[in-house]
Structure 1
Amino acid sequence: MDEKTNVMRILEKKKIEYKSYSYIDTDAISGIEVANVLKQDPRQVFKTLVTVGKSKKYYVFVIPVEKELDLKKAAKSVGEKSIEMIKSKDLLPLTGYIHGGCSPIGMKKNFTTTIDLSANGFKTFIFSAGKIGYQVELSLDDLRKIIKFQLADVV
């Protein structure tokens, strides 16, 4: 793969090994379609969601593509009364990423990040490389070298 995303450059700068995938020459849109195109277990392919709490603080959740974020569990995991998804139009100015290409690595600011507990069940997991059509695969331990996150049951 010739094209490098910011996420890949960040990983390389930190000398972190990762596997990259591309699905730019497909019609895959949903996370499940992406998992199928990449011939990966959809439970191991994660999507990055950005939410806002009642306190107006922003939170990032990384969950399996086949699941829905449980807003109650998610709010509880970050100590908020309630949270909601941010609007698509607010994503780029806030994170630097567009809908469908949002990665927990390389956002404009460091937001409180929670990864669904199920990621623990895999040696590695796959998520967006920060651009539609690109994914990276790495371990939770390697991800910890780049961003701070907690694990919680949020789906």
Structure 2
Amino acid sequence: MTPAVNAVKKAKVAYQLHQYSHDPASSSYGLEAAEALQQDPARVFKTLLAADDSGTLYVAVVPVTGQLDLKALAKAVKAKRLAMADPKVAEKATGYVVGGISPLGQKKRLPLLLDASAQAHATIFVSAGRRGLEIELAPDQLLSLTQGRYAAIRGG
């Protein structure tokens, strides 16, 4: 199993694993997951990493239906300016490959913000640590496991 799955098992929280056949030609991993699992894309979240000028990384978890609002994230973490992290940096910091980065079980605990829209759902879907594998769990459980917090960070 992946570190993400091991993290939820160890914490003994309620979760469900969902597997699907990942299409390497897919241009959007998150929308592919929503479609394959026949779920409302507003309940399927992607994990993105942003960095400030000093290289400090932040994890942002937003619905696959929207984009990350970097200005809103910067304001929420009290950073002057943020940019998307280089994919290689994101992979090295989390231990996961792009398209399979999970907010759970990362190599190093990074500050995590979950978009406030997650509060509208009893459960949400996030990557379980590899393409084609999703974990469904309550958003509050995700925050508890990652020591994260809610913030309005979703852009249009």
TM-score by length of 2: 0.91
Paired amino acid for 2:10: K
1:20 corresponding residue in structure 2: 17
1:20-59 equivalences in 2 (<5 Å): 20-24=17-21, 26=23, 28-30=26-28, 31-59=30-58
Runs of 4+ in 1 over 3 A off after TM superposition: 25-29
2:102 corresponding residue in structure 1: 103
Q: CA deviation at 1:144?
A: 3.3
Task: Look up the SS of the partner of 2:62 in the other structure.
Answer: strand
State the alpha-carbon separation in 2 of the partners of residues 55 and 101 from structure 1. 26
Greater share of helix = 2
Q: CA deviation at 1:54?
A: 2.2
Gaps of 5+ in 2: none
1:10 corresponding residue in structure 2: 7
State the alpha-carbon separation in 2 of the partners of residues 141 and 70 from structure 1. 22
State the alpha-carbon separation in 1 of the partners of residues 143 and 65 from structure 2. 24
CA RMSD of aligned residues (A): 1.4
1:65-80 equivalences in 2 (<5 Å): 65-80=64-79
State the alpha-carbon separation in 2 of the partners of residues 21 and 78 from structure 1. 32
Task: Summarize deviations over 1:41-83 as a string: whole Å, max 9, x none.
Answer: 0000000001101232110000001110011111101100110
Q: CA deviation at 1:29?
A: 4.9
Task: Look up the SS of the partner of 2:105 in the other structure.
Answer: coil
State the alpha-carbon separation in 1 of the partners of residues 3 and 56 from structure 2. 25
Identity of aligned residues (%): 38
2:143–2:149 contact (8 Å) kept in structure 1: no
